[in-house]
Homo-oligomer: A and B are copies of this chain.
Amino acid sequence: MDNKELVNKISGKLGRNKTDVKKLLDAFVAVVRTRSSELDSIAVPGFGTFETRKRAERITVMPSTGKRLLVPPRVVLSFKVSNVLKNKLK
């Protein structure tokens, strides 16, 4: 299911026009993106939590050459499904 179909489904469900739904979805994504880059988590009840974690920098060794490489620190976004939904999907 792509974004177009998603927008269609939601607009059909609510009887709203698609431009409206699209704007709102974009705003939702924008808020989650901004917040997650600030390392905040976003909880959506009955659905799950978007969490960001900071991965520390680490040193890795290339097996082929034996060279040491510094992997820079990264911010990783993950989604944790809520327990309610997890049990419903079973």
Contact = CB atoms under 8 A, between A and B. Distances in A.
A10 B27 contact: yes
Interface string A10-47: 10011010000101110111111101110011111111
Nearest to A39: B89
29 contacts: A1-B35, A3-B43, A6-B31, A6-B32, A13-B30, A13-B31, A14-B24, A16-B24, A21-B24, A25-B28, A25-B44, A28-B28, A29-B46, A29-B47, A32-B47, A33-B46, A33-B47, A33-B88, A36-B89, A48-B77, A48-B79, A52-B89, A72-B90, A74-B89, A75-B89, A75-B90, A76-B81, A77-B81, A77-B89
